[in-house]
Amino acid sequence: MKTTLRDKKHLFFDLDHTLWDFDRNAEETLHELFISYNFSALGFSSASIFIETYTRNNHRLWREYHSGNIDKSELRNARFAHTFNDLGVEPTLFPPSFEEDYIRICASKPHLFPHALETLAYLQKRYKLHLISNGFKESSETKIFNTGIHKFFSHIVISETIGVHKPDPAIFQHALAGARASKEESIMIGDSLEADIRGALSFGMDAIFFNPKRIEVPSDIESQIFELKALMDIF
């Protein structure tokens, strides 16, 4: 496997949950906003329970978004409404400015997964690196530039900009065309089995599953890593 992967010339990375630590940044932001908006007065028992419930809803709704079942506005409207409902708080009490503050503050958070910068720096000397994100344009660009990872990538594709998102083969084709790369010399690295891994594999492109939570992997997934620094041993 190592010899085959080392023959690659183009490495395509996902952003959220792969390089940018979405859950850590979101949790930090929600803790701050829970206090500043005095959500305890609305009837929430603790910030931790609120964040845990929100995270579960947000992950589920992002899967729906990846599948094309909901759009951007539905995702953003539903994740907090469902959280309020689940915790027995009337959704009409949700302050609209909370969502706006959450998007702005969370995107500005700097936390990457461990070893992200050193791994990207190592790989950049040997390969062309590219980014394919299913995120929204403004927040994705903020994350990419605030963390400084933009300097590692030759080509950046954000799904909202081109109107199609992973796992649709069109976004992989668009990314390869922009990178002037072929399927055979390219590989996708990401955390989503459906969007990143099966999306790339169905397109005919190799993929490595980033699995920091060490979930059980289906039999059709052949390559996985638990830490980003493992890529320095593979490539």
Q: What is the pLDDT of residue 72?
A: 86
What confidence tens digit (pLDDT) does each residue in 38-69 have?
999 999 999 999 999 999 999 999 889 888 89
Distance between CA atoms of 176 and 130, rounded to whole angstroms?
9
- Residue 156: enclosing H or E segment and its boundaries? strand 155-158
Angle at 166 between CA 12 and CA 105, to 5 degrees: 80
Q: 49-62: buried (b, 16+ CB within 10 Å) or exposed (e) per residue?
A: ebbebbbebbeebb
Domains along the chain? 2-21+112-234 (3.40.50.1000), 23-107 (1.10.150.240)
The Cα–Cα gap between 19 and 60 comes to 20
Residue 3: what pLDDT?
41
Question: Per-residue pLDDT tens for 106-145?
Answer: 999 999 999 999 999 999 999 999 999 998 999 999 999 9
Contacts of 78 (CB under 8 A, 6+ apart): 57, 61, 70
Q: Coil, helix or strand for 161?
A: helix
pTM given for the model:
0.92
